[in-house]
Amino acid sequence: MSYDIALLPGDGIGPTVVDAAVPVLDAAAAANDVDVETTRYDWGTQRYFDTGAMMPEDGLDRLASFDAILFGAVGHPDVPDHIPLDGLILPIRKRFDQTVCRRPAVLFDGVRSPLRAYEGGDIDILVFRENTEGEYADVGGREHRGFANEVAVQSAVYTRRSTERIVRAAFEAATERSGHLTNVTKSNAQAHGMVFWDDIVAEVSEEYPDVDVERLLVDAASMDFVRRPDEFDVVVASNLFGDILTDVGAIVTGSMGLAPSANIDPGNDHPSMFEPVHGSAFDIMGEGVANPLATVLSGSLMFDHLGEEAAASALWDVVADQLADENAPRTPDLGGDSTTEAVATDLRGRL
Ligand code: NAI
Ligand code: MG
């Protein structure tokens, strides 16, 4: 099969990791009879500086005809953080109905967790994060700027459609995995949206009698991601809570540079988008040492979504193989001193 993939490398380490990962994806595709055509769009903060917009006005229309999107990261030290997000990534997730954000957090063999008790294979969590609404809905306002009575309102939005979609995706995954699902909310303090969310979980759970549902409040869940990460399997959470928990999941499994993610339109009406969990990493940008593995693993999730299982496993397995090899190059986040390029070149050799 042949696929048209849009590349949006973005800012900071985004282009570093995307440019390193794409040849690895190409090699895995070629070895498995998959044909990939990429089109690169340099949309991001540089474009914002030049034109006042992160992407062209018809940017979303241009992306609509692709089979999938591979995204790097956005964010620039001289621009308030909400501008790149609101100008590029959030509109893509929302307009393309990418309700289901799927984020694995796996402790690979050969990777050291900052938690003493765990070694490769011990942690394997799959977080489902609602990705188009919740706390990240663009609903609110500010009044009386600069005055003593200044007020800001930021509302969270939970629709039955999207909540059912994310919850159902999590139950489906739990059915295929261990049958254990953790529902993370804050229903004690947010009695409207989060209790509605719990009601949807209870409704959908009737369709999945074999899945056992554990309930956790997000503060306790954050603690337990550190205290007992090995006991989690599938986790479902709102947009904000899923965002926070997946950074915790990334670091307890070794590095932000290893955490992939899939933003999926469950209706398949629009392209889905695949991206590392991390951002543009101001502290290491321009140094050529960003870990490209999160992006390569995101490529694996992309091929899996496209139905190209052989290419998907090839990518996942080659990353696992490299991490398990103590003589393989590693970027500094994993304790090594290799460059992004050296890691990617080694992966291509292994493929
Ligand atoms: P970040 O994820 O960029 O960095 C957090 C820490 O993880 C830093 O110490 C960084 O060096 C490290 N790190 C991240 N990716 C790495 C990689 N591939 N290899 C090695 N180390 C890596 O989060 P931060 O610092 O909060 O945000 C920086 C900018 O990125 C901000 O403008 C933020 O808004 C934006 N951001 C964008 C996202 C996106 O485009 N999807 C997601 C998260 C943040
Ligand atoms: Mg995040």
Q: What is the pLDDT of residues 240-298, one digit of tens each?
A: 999 999 999 999 999 999 999 999 999 999 999 999 999 999 999 999 999 999 999 99
Domains of the chain: residue spans and CATH: 1-98+259-351 (3.40.718.10), 124-252 (3.40.718.10)
Considering 247, 304, 333, 346, which one is annotated as catalytic?
247
E runs forming strands in the chain: 2-10, 35-40, 68-73, 100-106, 124-130, 140-143, 151-154, 180-185, 212-217, 234-237, 260-264, 272-276
Torsion angles phi and psi, residue 222, rounded to 5: -60, -45
Find out whether 276 and 105 touch, Cβ atoms under 8 Å. no
Q: Please confirm, yes or no, whether 219 is among the known catalytic residues.
A: yes
Whether residue 290 has its Cβ less than 6 Å from ligand 1: yes
Dump pLDDT digits (tens) for 146-200: 999 999 999 999 999 999 999 999 999 999 999 999 999 999 999 999 999 999 9
78 is catalytic: no
- Interface pTM (ipTM) of the complex? 0.99
135 C-alpha to center of ligand 2: Å?
Answer: 13
Catalytic annotation present for 61: no
Mean pLDDT across 28-47: 97
Question: For position 245, what pLDDT does the model report?
Answer: 98
Helix (H) or strand (E) holding 169: helix 160-176
The per-residue pLDDT for 168 is 98
Q: Which of 41, 48, 118, 186 is catalytic?
A: 186
Q: How do residues 94-121 score in pLDDT, each as one tens digit?
A: 999 999 999 999 999 999 999 999 999 9
Q: Are 108 and 324 in contact (CB under 8 A)?
A: yes
State the pairing for strand pair 68-73/124-130: unpaired
Q: What is the pTM of this model?
A: 0.97
Average pLDDT over the chain, rounded to an integer: 97
3-state secondary structure of 313: helix
Does the beta carbon of 242 sit less than 6 angstroms from any atom of ligand 1?
no
Which ligand is nearest to the Cα of residue 256, counting in written order? 1
Residue 136 annotated as catalytic: yes
> pLDDT for 65-94, tens place per residue?
999 999 999 999 999 999 999 999 999 999
Which of the following is catalytic: 41, 118, 136, 208?
A: 136
Q: How many Å lie between the centroid of ligand 1 and the Cα of residue 73?
A: 8
Are the beta carbons of 128 and 175 closer than 8 angstroms?
no
Query: Catalytic: 243?
Result: yes
Ligand 2 being an ion, which residues bring their Cβ within 5 A of it? Answer: 243
pLDDT cut 90: percent of the chain above it: 100
Euclidean distance between CA atoms 346 and 247, whole angstroms: 27
Strands 180-185 and 151-154 come out as: unpaired
Give me the mean pLDDT over the 206-234 stretch. 98
Catalytic residue among 19, 243, 265, 333: 243
Apex 81 CA angle, 330 and 294, nearest 5: 25
CA dist., res. 283 & res. 90, Å (int): 23
**42: Cβ below 6 Å to ligand 1?**
no
